[in-house]
Amino acid sequence: MTTLNSRDALPISWLRPEWPAPPRVRACTTTRLGGVSEGPYASLNLAGHVGDDGTHVLENRRRLNTALHLPGEPLWLQQVHGVAAVDAGCGEPECEADASYTWHRDVVCAVLTADCLPVLLCDVDGGVVAAVHAGWRGLLDGVIENTVRAMDRPGSRVLAWLGPAIGPEVFEVGDEVRAAFVARAPRAAAAFQPTSAGRWLADIYQLACQRLGEVGVDAVYGGHWCTVSDPARFYSYRRDRVTGRMASLIWLDSRDG
């Protein structure tokens, strides 16, 4: 975790992927620490659609840009739990999509999450990157596979990092969710464990690994957090309902190579 000291706020903090990406690939996921939002959004809420004060969101984004030395404003998407992936260099702000990718330097891909799974992708040569918002609906319908195909690289040349999401010990779902995944791929059954109440605990990390494997991506890193169980660091919609969002960002830095 990296921090930036500030005299008028808690330090901004974020997680950096531990993966063998080329140096020009820059990536991180924010925590909830270091912003100016208040109440249930405290403090580094980066989403403008959750009911937070808009001036607070803008200030949080400004602080993020400064702390990370971003080369430009990220492409903030209007996420709809779908499968669309857009070119971040051409996409319009707040366009409806759940993933973005780019081959261009200094273009920042971003997704917002608070229990859904953020997936960051790059190729081993550092020529293309992508950010994916994978809730269970998008995961089921193929948002990961669609994004890998849009990157136009063999899966064997792609690295994936799974950021903070709802953990397998608390992600309770009904029969219809399990049935939908198993109907699509029988091996998905291994990612569901029965509860004593007749429901299922789903492992979104395992499901994502399976979907990555479908397009040949076997180099997968991360995937060991639980947003619900760590209120000090992470927002969680399932835990709190009214809450903020973390951001997962990735870009190709023109200053490296």
Give the CATH number of the domain where residue 46 resides.
3.60.140.10
Q: Could you read off the pLDDT of 36-85 as tens digits, one per residue?
A: 999 999 999 999 999 999 999 999 999 999 999 999 999 999 999 999 99
* pLDDT beyond 50 at 165: yes
Sheet-wide strand order for 200-202: 172-173, 200-202, 192-194
| Rounded average pLDDT over 20-38 | 98
The number of domains in the chain is: 1
φ/ψ of residue 229, rounded to 5: -90, 0
In a domain, 209, yes or no: no
Question: What is the mean pLDDT of the segment spanning 232-256?
Answer: 96
- pLDDT bin (cut points 50, 70, 90) of residue 9 is low
Q: Would you state the pLDDT for residue 52? A: 98
In contact, 221 and 233? CB cutoff 8 Å: no
In a domain, 206, yes or no: no
pLDDT at res. 92: 87
Does residue 175 belong to any structural domain of this protein?
A: no
The verdict on residue 171 lying in a domain is no
The pTM score is: 0.96
Residue 257 has pLDDT above 80, yes or no: no
Instruction: Work out the average pLDDT over 112-126.
Output: 98
Enclosing domain of residue 116: 2-165+221-252
pLDDT band at 2 (very low <50, low <70, confident <90, very high): very low
Query: What are the pLDDT digits (tens) for 199-240?
Result: 999 999 999 999 999 999 999 999 999 999 999 999 999 999
Domain membership flag for residue 77: yes
Least Cα distance to 134 among 115, 154, 160 occurs for 115
Assess whether pLDDT exceeds 80 at residue 10.
Answer: no
213 within a domain of the structure (yes/no): no
pLDDT at 255: 84
Half-sphere exposure of 75 (CA within 13 A, CB side): 27
- Rounded mean pLDDT, 144-151: 98
Higher pLDDT, 83 or 6: 83
For all residues of the chain together, what is the average pLDDT? 95
pLDDT of residue 11: 84
Model confidence at 3, in pLDDT bands (50, 70, 90)?
Answer: very low
Confirm whether 23 is domain-assigned: yes
Single-letter amino acid, residue 77? L
Question: Do residues 32 and 44 lie in contact, with contact meaning Cβ atoms separated by under 8 Å?
Answer: yes
Question: pLDDT-derived band of residue 6, with 50, 70 and 90 as boundaries?
Answer: very low
Does residue 101 lie within any of the structural domains?
Answer: yes
pLDDT tens profile 75-114: 999 999 999 999 999 888 899 999 999 999 999 999 999 9
- Which DSSP letter does residue 96 get? B
Grade residue 8 by pLDDT with cuts at 50, 70 and 90. Answer: low
